[in-house]
Chain A
Amino acid sequence: MVDVELSQPPFSFLDEEGRDRVRSGIDLAYFERDQIILDAGQPGEYVFLIHKGEVAELDPTLPGAQSRIGHYTVGDLFGAISILNGKSRYRFRAEQECLCYLLPKGLFKQLCEAYPAFAEFFRQRLAHKTRLLTERRAEGGVAMAGFMLARVDQCMRDPILVESTTSIAGAVHTLNDSHADSLLVQGEEGAGMVTKTDLLNALVVEGLPQQEPVREIAHFALITARRDQYLFEVLVQMTRFKVERVVVMEQDAPVGVVELTDVLSYFSSRSYVVSLQVEQANSLEALAGASRRTPELVRALMAQGVKLRFAMGLLAAINGRIINKAWGFVIDECYHADSCLMVMGSEGRGEQILKTDQDNGLILADDLEWPDCHEQMQRFTETLIKLGYPSCPGNIMVSNPEWVGTETEWRGRIAQWAASRDGESLLRLAIMLDSHAVAGKTTLLERLREELFERCSRDEILLSYFARTALRFSTPLTLFGSLKKPQHGIDIKKGGIFPIVHGVRTLALERRITATSTLDRLDALVADGRLEERFAEDLGEALSLFTELRLRQQLERLDNPDGRDESPDRVVVQELSSLERDLLREALHIVKDFKQRLSYRFHLEYS
């Protein structure tokens, strides 16, 4: 028997006898800071009632700050939903030292049966929470940016122009044929507007004959906007003048019409809709549909000038959810708790904006029996290809048995890679360092990464070998510090992106930083004191610039797939504007500086 405050819901739904059962049935548990109370995928055994302390709810498949999805403090309950669902979907971690009351599963279920109001409370919470989560995921924080930055010409209809002598009947026919709501009437001094409402009023209220020319009923005092105005300004105008249409004028001629319904639907589409589609997809086809829309989303984000860092974060989250969902559809439920699917390479770092390839691997728990594992993995890889992830040229995929293994096997592989230090092994270590869990039991990967850090972070010789790869490609700068300008362009993936990503990865390995995204790693390195803040910022900006240049070329290639077949990594300097050229040169100088620091730190001067 313990004293516990039971006057709050849901315990207020119990009677005195029920409360006594709770009092005599609960245990106390004490959790240290950062201890994981309930891990994702674990079966729920208790309902936790916090007596003291704070608990965070995390989704371990999401990167960095997005993973925090809930926070509980004194008096809050958690874990009930895990019991109702059978297993916990998220990870609960003690933010401070925590003292919790533990209500065992058996007792909780008995109470739910005996007191319907009590059970109802949890069911409501479940539904409420699912809704909240879906909304939250879908937002992703950029809807607002998109809203503010969209311009008029992204959401404008072509105008339908008619002569001023057209009859009302003719106007109605034109409207019906073009499924529009309004017409522009060419008048002597500028254009006028006729809407459906005007036509109806003219025919019914005023009783005009059908042959009457539309000039008589058109409004010539128009609310106009320019092509390059922000869409929200137009929305403000509509609200101010109480109209539903604004005419877009260019050099005194109407070039388009913006309708209120279009503005509203524009704002409610885009990023929001794609992520919502992913969340709501309940079959592979629906998922594939949502997946096909991501390039469109990328283009919209780029057009709106959303910062690349946020775009990458959003896309990484969406890609993660797509793969996670595909995993759920293809792989039997019973294997989820004992296996961990990880994405690696650029996707593991959350830097894959367009789907360029799939790098993934699978870790199995040591005691898992999975006879048809290989077939299922084959199927999974094919599913991903169907979803638009091209297969990996290096064959780093779950369909390749080399990238599937039990935890012990993986440990063995890491040990072997760390020991042999040849090119292939170093490459694999690098890939493994960027791995990020997207589905299944995430602790498997965490343990493996710890092992990796344990084995490599203190091994100076290995680190030095590892870092040397960053210097492999020369920076495309001339002796005098200006850009090299070969005809076929400079390779910014090799010359710019790779040295930064790999160098930062090496430093992260040395300092045992668990973040996988390069920008997050830079932040962590600053916090750790390994890099100055200024320099880390510059590196981040340089990386963003390279990625953006590359992305632009990738998008162009998507637009006309057969037009140009050279690699998207090549940037032809001559085609850039002078500002871009300057930026690129500055960025490459930062890369050069970073390489020098690396070679100084890891003693690569003579190697």
Chain B
Amino acid sequence: MLKALRRAADRRRHAHGDYGWLFTPYTGNEMVAIDCKTTGPDARHAELVSLAAVRIRDERVLTSDSLDLCLARPASLAGDAIGLHGLRGIDLADGTEIEEALARFLDFVGNRPLVGWCLKLDLAVLNHYLRPLFGFDLPNAGIDVAQCYQRQLHRNHPERDVRLCLEQVAELLEMPVMRRYSALGDAVTTALIHLRLARGALLAEQRFC
């Protein structure tokens, strides 16, 4: 509710701005799978380290047309997170400035629907940056693949209540895992899982019994 109100307000404010077109409904057949890597698990304090997006058209993942950005080193980059995504301070030495990165991201994504693994977290981090710099939250429609998977699994096996990570799900669905822990790799994996789920991978099979 609050989100809807906020989005309406954003739309009014930016109707004639540079990013007004982001608020128009999308009519094409493309989607964009996104993934962010941050310095920590807590969306409110985490800082963005890298950001990737890849387009999906029909049954295709257009990896040739993707966006993969490393950001300038954030202040809170520390040991744990580096272990997770493998981006050291030195790797980020010539990273993009956050404002430029977000501008390119917005241009790439446009008003297409977003697809992500635990999309809420990614959106929280992105909006955390977007609001002060551009003055609005991402208005795009979103599909959370993790949630889709849970829902389909639950429909088949109501007794099971497990939370699986991206890697495990990909393995269960017999999908390849692209460079795990790089933002682009995860985005591609997410896109593939989405394609499979959208075609009813779980509904048709009883492999998980």
Contacts and interface: CB of A to CB of B under 8 A. Distances in A.
A29 B64 contact: no
A280 interface: no
B61 A29 contact: yes
A29 B196 CA distance: 11
A102 B59 CA distance: 12
B101 to A, nearest CB: 18
Interface in B186-204: 188, 191-192, 195-196, 199, 201
A123 to B, nearest CB: 25
Interface residues of A, number: 18
A368 interface: no
A99 B192 contact: yes
B63 A52 contact: no
Interface string A452-496: 000000000000000000000000000000000000000000000
B118 interface: no
A24 interface: yes
B196 A1 contact: no
Nearest to B63: A2
B63 A32 contact: no
Contact of B64 (A26, A32, A97, A99): A26
Contacts of A24: 64
Contact of B60 (A29, A52, A97): A29
A3 interface: yes
A31 interface: yes
Interface stretch (B3-11, B84-92, B173-181): B173-181
B184 interface: yes
Contact residues of A: prevailing secondary structure: strand
B189 to A, nearest CB: 10
B7 to A, nearest CB: 32
A408 B62 CA distance: 35
Contacts of B68: 1
Contacts, number: 50
B63 A27 contact: yes
Interface string A21-63: 0001111111110000000000000000001100000000000
B66 interface: yes
Contacts of B61: 27-30
Contact of A99 (B66, B175, B184, B185): B175
Interface string B132-172: 00000000000000000000000000000000000000000
Nearest to B52: A1
Contacts of A159: none
A568 interface: no
B192 A28 contact: yes
A104 interface: yes
Nearest to A32: B199
A27 B62 contact: yes
Interface string B46-72: 000000000000011111111010000
B176 A51 contact: yes
B174 A52 contact: yes
A391 B62 CA distance: 53
A29 B59 contact: yes
A97 B198 CA distance: 13
Contacts of A31: 59
Given A2-B188, A102-B60, A30 B178 contact: no
Contacts of B175: 52, 99
A2, A51, A104, most chain B CB atoms within 10 A: A2
Contacts of B59: 29-32
B152 to A, nearest CB: 16
Contacts of A3: 178-179, 185
Interface string A5-30: 00000000000000000001111111
A30 B184 contact: no
A102 B57 CA distance: 13
A1 B60 contact: no
A25 B63 CA distance: 7
Interface in B21-76: 59-66, 68
Interface string B89-103: 000000000000000
Contacts of B60: 27-30, 102
A32 B61 CA distance: 14
A153 B145 CA distance: 75
B176 A52 contact: yes
Nearest to B195: A30
A1 B182 CA distance: 11
Contacts of A97: 196, 201
Contacts of B63: 1-2, 26-28
Contacts of B62: 27
A264 B122 CA distance: 75
Contacts of B195: 30
A4 to B, nearest CB: 9
Nearest to A2: B63
B179 A104 contact: no
Nearest to B175: A99
B199 A28 contact: no
B153 to A, nearest CB: 18
A95 B176 CA distance: 19
Given A27-B62, A32-B199, 12 more contacts: A1-B66, A1-B184, A2-B63, A2-B178, A3-B179, A27-B60, A27-B61, A29-B59, A30-B59, A30-B61, A32-B59, A97-B196
28 contacts: A1-B63, A1-B66, A1-B184, A2-B63, A2-B188, A3-B178, A25-B64, A26-B63, A26-B64, A27-B60, A27-B65, A28-B60, A28-B61, A28-B63, A28-B188, A28-B192, A29-B60, A29-B61, A30-B59, A30-B60, A30-B61, A30-B192, A30-B195, A30-B199, A31-B59, A32-B59, A52-B175, A99-B175
9 closest Cβ pairs, A-B complex: A28-B61, A29-B60, A30-B195, A2-B63, A25-B64, A27-B62, A30-B59, A27-B64, A27-B60
Interface of B: 59-66, 68, 174-176, 178-179, 184-185, 188, 191-192, 195-196, 199, 201
